[in-house]
Amino acid sequence: MCITALAITTTVTAGGDRQKGETEIRFWHSIGSYNKEVLSSLINTFNQSQKQITVKGVFQGSAEDLYLKLLSQENLPDVVLTPIQLLPLLNKKGLIIPLDGFIPEKLKDDILPKYWESATIGDSIYGIPFSFTTYTLFVNQHLLRISGTRDEKEPVAWKDIIPLARRIKENLDGKWGVFIPMESTLHFVSFIKSYTGKSPITDGRLVLNAPETINAVRFLQDLVFTYQYMPPKMTISDAEQMFLSGNLAILMAASDSFVYIKSNLPYDLTLWHLPSTDNARPTVSGMCLTLLKNSTKRENYAFRFLEYLTSYESIMKWHTHTGTPAIRTSVKDSIDLLVFYEDNPNYTTATIEMERGDIFNPKFDYFAVNTVVKNALDKILINGEDATTILEEAQREIDRMDASSP
């Protein structure tokens, strides 16, 4: 995702009088659950640190809800949190400007080039990397132990999940072995690349009907219908609650949910890397920061807030309080974090994955393609329809979209 600064308004006090010299920045985002509290805490700290700017954070629902509101409403916010794959759409709509002249060299040197490249369109940088995450397996060690698993090794391939899930089903009444969410193209790409060792995105085009991809989807279908190790017709939110209640042993989830889950799970928690064929690099998704053209004074005010969000202290807090890997090298290599990791080793799993991962930043129309992918997966994993037939149909629909796009 990316944080996008758009327009700035002047703060009005409760009594209706303007605070002289104080500017309000309205901040839309799609960060929910526990992480919204962490984000609010960062905003409050910024507001208390100076008197010229006040930031007001507003939750706008999903990333798609937020994007549609940006396109449909005249009264735009000042700052927006949005997925990086939406940067080209925002740029095409004329909402964002290049940031090359704003970014300090110290900040640029402290973030790896691949993150800057993900926020680059043409020859210009349109976003400052803020929060990047990847998928891992969350494991309830208590369920594995009482199901009869002893000294389990981290799975090397997805087939290694089968015996673990089988013990859960056979030995623990009413418990489920594993849940792998398939609610989005990001979920799909992350799993397929892990299972097959190949990205389903080739030359900017999503390929659904490759033989290895169909086999991977059939594996998911077997988990649901053949083995009945994975609960059917369940959202990621429902699966998280099932995991927290102790009724699900293994959950594929984003690392930015780690602290929330760890804080609410009354059992031993371990994080595993996704099983990986041919040591495939994991898929990384992210957020960044950008600005809308305005007066020089207002652009500078907005950029001060963006600099604060990517400061050493803010990135450290975002990492330790959410589980999202630290984006800045100075934070990752700090003595503070090394000491923290000694008592919290689970944090390192996602950090390692993100370091070697490829960033999910497709060039196709994400929302349009995502609708096709989600509908196809629902037919296969909820209705039990034939994977080959459905993925071939979905591929033809995507090809028609590609052919009609300018």
Q: At what angle do helices 185-196 and 211-221 cross, to 10 degrees?
A: 110
Whether the CA torsion 371, 242, 157, 324 is positive or negative: it is positive
Kindly report the CATH number assigned to the domain that includes residue 330: 3.40.190.10
According to the model, what pLDDT value does residue 294 have? 74
The structural domain count of the chain equals 2
Q: Which of 180, 234, 205, 211 is nearest to 391 (CA)?
A: 211
Q: Mark whether 217 and 366 lie in a shared domain.
A: yes
- Stated as kind and residue range, the H or E segment containing 379 is helix 366-381
Residue 167, classified by CB atoms within 10 Å of its CB into exposed (0-12), middle (13-18) or buried (19+), is: buried
The answer to whether 278 and 197 have CB atoms below 8 angstroms apart is yes
Residue whose C-alpha is closest to residue 39's, from 50, 27, 53: 27
Residues 77 and 151 in one domain: no
CB atoms < 10 A from the CB of 329, how many?
A: 12
Same domain, 121 and 233: no
Tokens of 68: 């549609």
Q: Judge if 171 and 73 occupy the same domain.
A: no
Verify that 236 and 376 share a domain, yes or no: yes
The last residue of one of the domains, among 323, 338, 358, is 358
Say yes or no: 185 and 269 in one domain.
Answer: yes
Q: Residue 252: its pLDDT value, please?
A: 97
Alpha helices in 223-358 (DSSP H): 236-244, 258-264, 296-309, 312-322, 329-332, 335-343, 347-356
**CA dihedral of 41, 305, 321, 82, whole degrees rounded to 10:** 110
Asked if residue 279 and residue 158 are part of one domain, the reply reads yes
Q: Which domain holds residue 384?
A: 134-283+362-404
> Do 161 and 116 fall within a single domain?
no
Q: How many angstroms separate the CA atoms of 289 and 62, rounded?
A: 18
Whether residue 263 sits in one domain with residue 399: yes
21/100 same-domain check: yes
**Per-position pLDDT tens, the chain of length 406:** 555 544 444 333 323 333 545 888 888 899 988 899 999 999 999 999 999 999 999 899 998 898 898 888 778 887 888 889 888 888 988 888 899 999 999 999 999 999 999 999 999 999 999 999 999 999 999 999 999 987 678 899 999 999 999 999 999 999 999 999 999 999 999 999 999 999 999 888 999 999 999 999 999 999 999 999 999 989 999 999 999 999 999 999 999 999 999 999 999 999 999 998 778 899 999 988 888 777 788 788 889 999 999 999 999 999 999 999 999 999 999 999 999 999 999 999 999 999 999 999 988 889 899 999 999 999 999 999 999 999 999 999 999 987 776 6
Q: Do 29 and 81 share a domain, yes or no?
A: yes
| Same domain flag for 205 and 320 | no
